[in-house]
Amino acid sequence: MTLKLAGLVSALALTAALGACATAPGGSEMTLPAATAPVAPVAPAFAYADDIHSNARPAEARVKHVALDLSADFAAKTLSGTATLDVTGRVGATEVVLDTKTLDIRAVRDARGNPLRFELGAMDAIKGQALTVHLPAFTGAETQKIVVDYATRPDAAALQWLSPQQTAGGQKPYLFSQGQAILTRTWVPTQDSPGIRQTYSARITAPADLTVVMSAEHLTPQGEAAGAGKKAWRFDMDRPIPPYLMAVAIGDIAFAPFDERTGVWTEPSRLQAAHWELEPTAQMVDAAETLYGPYRWGRYDLLVLPPSFPFGGMENPRLTFATPTIIAGDRSLVSLVAHELAHSWSGNLVTNATWSDIWLNEGTTTYFENRIMEVLYGRERALQEQALGWADLMAEIAVTPPDDTRLHIDLTGRDPDDGLSGIPYDKGAAFLRTIERIVGREKFDAWLRGYFDRHAFQPMTDVGFLADIRANLVKGDAALEAQLQLDNWIYQPGMPSNAQAPVSHAFEAVDVAAKAFFADKGPASAIDWKSWNTQQRQRFLAWRPEGLKAGADWLTNAQLADLEKTLNLANEGNAELTFAWLQIALAHRYEPAVATADRFLTSQGRRKFVLPLFQTLWNEGDWGRPIATRIYAKARPLYHPVTSRSVDQLVGQS
């Protein structure tokens, strides 16, 4: 799961410029309000989307730049120091509202050091506390600076402080952040909304024997002396990004380049393996640029984190954070790199303005990822991954409340993390593949490349997306509009009638083998496992009998033992395959797999794997729940809060 970014133009303003009409979810036309005209020149000069997950009021005053000066205290598990914010506002505005959560605010001052009056609002379980800072009234387009003196708390949800024992080297501590969706406010006091893009700079002080990296340009690659046993590291991000892409990591890490603009960071003992595994990254950047235009962020590096990282990857600009579970030893899982790289266009360059439209990030990126994979590995490999995604989508739609199978979802009263599933990824990608199939790849690619150019460094909404595609691709063609079913894809549950399942001929023999073993009870020795690639093996392990009811047994212990031994699944090194095997084995209460599950769940914290496996155990009642409780008691201290929060809701804190 992987959870993305100055004169901007809002979706509503764009729609107004294109005719002020759009199609409502029910299919009828609705007139949208024009963007509110400012009283006098301000920055920004556009109407913001209403973000229910932020306390900010950017139409009155907004943060343009954040300058951090923080010191990392590994003993106290805190970052402390200052955040200096550049704020602009409408004429007459006298306050700016920031987002904070579990931050200790010590003081707020102006640029000259004079104290500014501020209040912290009531705590909201989802949004945290509004920090309202009172300012002299804005008189025009001037910028005011405010300096927030603060410290994070040890339980800040964006930060994970790892002991040396939780790292590969076992000698030094480690810290990393994870800001998506609304966790940046737990370590930076700012307007934490994806529609309020900000530049940032930072000076981070840390123990001298550690290295600091951030999602920004390294201004001091070797650090600089900062007192006894300390070094300071400076960074700058001069392109406006959404706050969830501010990211930091501190640890015993080393770097190896792939070429002049790409490379990988990770712990020294893992650097050689990570470098070999991820070497195709340089080719991926070239392929992506050929498809949809220049890469606009300077460098593209990866940081392979310790195993507690909760997502597959996080597309922090210039420095993708990645799970070590992609290091499979055969480059079979590098599509994750293609996905995070694609976010450099869809997500970081053109960003969902609110979390209700996360499909604009993830669906577009999943489509783009597959196009990169096709360039590098061929059409058949791309079709295999499409087909796997389609199967996951069908399974998820079958068990998801209908309202949450829409692309544009209602997150009222919910943490945006609770609304995140595979649907915005795979349904969003299927939507774009449908458009491509109907209009032709050449026309579609020209539109998508233009879309990235037209809205570079801007937020986007579902309404803005529809306005753009109608203006620049449909162009008033009523027959094409009817074929595309644009509104049905975004606003209606399930799958529209023009959706088509992708077909991979490489899966035909796999499906025959799966039926022969799983349904016809043939021997595992007949499975052509060694000749299959990882995607074919995933397809085999994902096979289920037609009409299978939840909790139904469809394999015997003898079959499970035959499968485990013949395919050596207890010792499988590919995390995707281990996960797929455990989903089968635990659902059948196969005791020999419990030890494998224990090792797997206590050696990595990727939520994509962790939460479903605990769910499977929990579903097995008197057999599975004691196992889940026992394993979680050991595993929970190793997990990032993003993962433990999800599992807590299921298993509870042990």
Q: What's the gap between Cα 169 and its chain centre?
A: 27
Please state the φ and ψ torsions of residue 441, each to the nearest 5 degrees: -60, -40
The CB density around residue 33, as the number of other CB atoms within 10 Å, is: 10
pLDDT score for 47: 66
Q: What pLDDT digit, counting tens, does each position of 614-625 carry?
A: 999 999 999 999
Question: Is this structure's pTM higher than 0.75?
Answer: yes
pLDDT score for 552: 67
Q: What pLDDT digit, counting tens, does each position of 583-605 carry?
A: 999 999 999 999 999 999 999 99
Token code pair at residue 503: 């077909």
pLDDT score for 12: 30
Binned average pLDDT, 10 residues per bin, the chain of 654 residues: 33 31 30 29 54 97 98 98 97 97 98 97 97 97 97 96 91 96 98 97 98 98 93 98 98 98 97 97 98 98 93 95 94 95 98 97 98 97 97 94 96 89 96 98 98 96 96 98 98 98 96 95 96 97 81 86 97 95 96 97 94 95 96 92 89 64
pLDDT score for 640: 87
Token code pair at residue 470: 């109608």
User: In whole angstroms, what is the distance from residue 642 CA to residue 298 CA?
Assistant: 30
User: In whole angstroms, what is the distance from residue 522 CA to residue 160 CA?
Assistant: 47
User: At a CB cut-off of 8 Å and minimum separation 6, what does 21 contact?
Assistant: 15, 29, 30, 31, 32
For 101-140, where are the E strands, in sequence order? Answer: 104-110, 118-120, 129-134
Place of tokens 């893992």: 270
Token code pair at residue 585: 């084995």
Place of tokens 């299921």: 650
pLDDT score for 164: 93
Q: Give the domain ranges of the chain.
A: 506-651
CATH, range 506-651: 1.25.40.320
Residues with catalytic function: 340, 425
pLDDT score for 641: 85
